[in-house]
Amino acid sequence: MKLSEDLLALLRRPSTCYLATLMPDGSPQVTQTWVDTDGDHVIINSVQSHVKTRNIERDPRVALTVSDPESPSRYF
């Protein structure tokens, strides 16, 4: 998926990001985290021992919301 210029601009700013992953029982697990981009990918800050990292390794299906810090109701 190609990232839009609007999304790239938002990812390059200190924006609020929520990452939803799936627990082993299928329930959602949502974490606020730092987000960035290399221009082609969304980069999520994480630590190997964190639940979100283990969840992604087990099941890579995720949902991500990034809010504009100047207008939180504007998000991608």
pLDDT for 16: 84
pLDDT for 47: 85
For residue 73, is it within any domain? no
- CATH value at residue 11: 2.30.110.10
Provide the domain limits for residue 39. 5-68
The whole-number average pLDDT for the span 41-69 is 91
Q: Which of 10-14, 15-19, 27-31, 68-72 has the highest mean pLDDT?
A: 27-31
For residue 74, is it within any domain? no
CA gap 33, 55 in Å, rounded: 15
Q: Where are the beta strands (DSSP E) in 1-76?
A: 16-22, 28-33, 35-37, 42-44, 63-68, 71-75
For residue 40, is it within any domain? yes
pLDDT > 70: what percent of the chain? 100
Domain count, the chain: 1
